[in-house]
Amino acid sequence: MDIFLGLFNNVLTEGFIYAIMAVGVYVTYAVMNFPDLSVDGTFPLGACVTGALILNGVNPWVACLVSFLCGAAAGCVTGLLHVKLHITDLLSGILVMTALTSINLVVTGGTSMVAYFSKPTIFNYGLGAALSAAAGSWGPALLALICCAVVKLAIDLYLKTKSGLLLRAAGDNPQYVISLGKDPGNMNILGLMIGNGCAALAGSILSQQSGSANVWSGTGMVVMALASVIIGTSLFGRAKIIRPTLAAVFGTIIYKACLVAAMQLGLPTNYLKLLMAILLTIALVANNMAPVAGRRKKQDVNPTQI
């Protein structure tokens, strides 16, 4: 029982952290219809920036904020490449992701990993320390939940603003945005800044949870985030009381639980990335089959029964 609770605690802690990234990817993928591959670079960027700042005595919460801003700056570059230089969305993300590999190495001083186990982090400092003292081993999960909830609510509130509505329109109907006298390209840049800022923030928090930063920790993050968004929206998208951002959070926890379950059943860690790709494939196929099944059901309805 203790082992099960420990695994459940780990799933919730990391699930809520990765959900911050998934909420950001929801903005770029679902709202903007932009397949942003630069997430694989901005996630470790947040971790590396946090590691470098904490090693130099910077407050861990300030490190989170700086990481978000660095991720947003990287997202801005992706947007500029696509909007101003007219490079395709996929290539823009690949270019930024590739460039960030070198930048992350520069930030960490040329090493692929930096450790700061004895330094203050958000999990053992201030609010994190208070939660750990009150809830014991569940303290990190509670702190991760709070961080995830703040980001989710902030995104929800933003999408209700005039700027957020324009962002939705830019992804769905750019011509409508142009008719309003606004530039949809600028809205795309803003959306990419938000999405990559969230990815970097998730990398920062996960780095502090583990006490180390790895330059290569971003491999497969875009796959995880996309699978989480698709799983969440497929399973909970029809529930009107569940917002899409909350569905993305639930999808991340389910996705993380599937990975942990596979590891517990004896799957070698060498096959983890393969499993991540398979889960995304299953989610994509199921998501594509759902509308087809709905249309067939409507066609099978007898008109005399209506």
Instruction: Please compute the mean of the pLDDT values over residues 191-217 and round it to a whole number.
Output: 96
Looking at the chain, list the stretches that DSSP marks H as alpha helix, in order from N- to C-terminal side: 2-26, 39-55, 60-83, 89-107, 127-135, 139-159, 162-172, 174-179, 184-210, 221-236, 244-264, 272-299
Q: Give the pLDDT confidence score for residue 123 in this predicted structure.
A: 96
Q: Give the pLDDT confidence score for residue 301 in this predicted structure.
A: 45
Whole-model pTM: value is 0.92
Report the distance separating Cα 218 and Cα 172, nearest Å.
29
Residue 290: pLDDT band (50, 70, 90) is low
Q: Is the pLDDT of residue 295 over 80?
A: no
Give 263-289 pLDDT, tens digit per residue.
888 888 888 888 888 988 888 888 887
Domain ranges of the chain: 2-219
Give 143-171 pLDDT, tens digit per residue.
999 999 999 999 999 999 999 999 999 98
- The token pair at 146 is 């709070």
Q: Give the pLDDT confidence score for residue 161 in this predicted structure.
A: 94
Cα separations in angstroms, 133 against 120, 123, 124, 129, 210: 15, 11, 10, 6, 19
Query: Which of 174 and 75 is assigned the larger pLDDT?
Result: 75
3-state secondary structure of 59: coil
Residue in 220, 256, 207 with CA at minimum distance from that of residue 9: 256
Instruction: Report the mean per-residue pLDDT for the chain.
Output: 90
Instruction: Please compute the mean of the pLDDT values over residues 205-229 and round it to a whole number.
Output: 93
Q: Is the pLDDT of residue 195 over 60?
A: yes
Name, in order, each residue with C-beta under 8 angstroms of 66's C-beta and a sequence gap of 6 or more: 49, 50, 53, 58
Name, in order, each residue with C-beta under 8 angstroms of 274's C-beta and a sequence gap of 6 or more: none
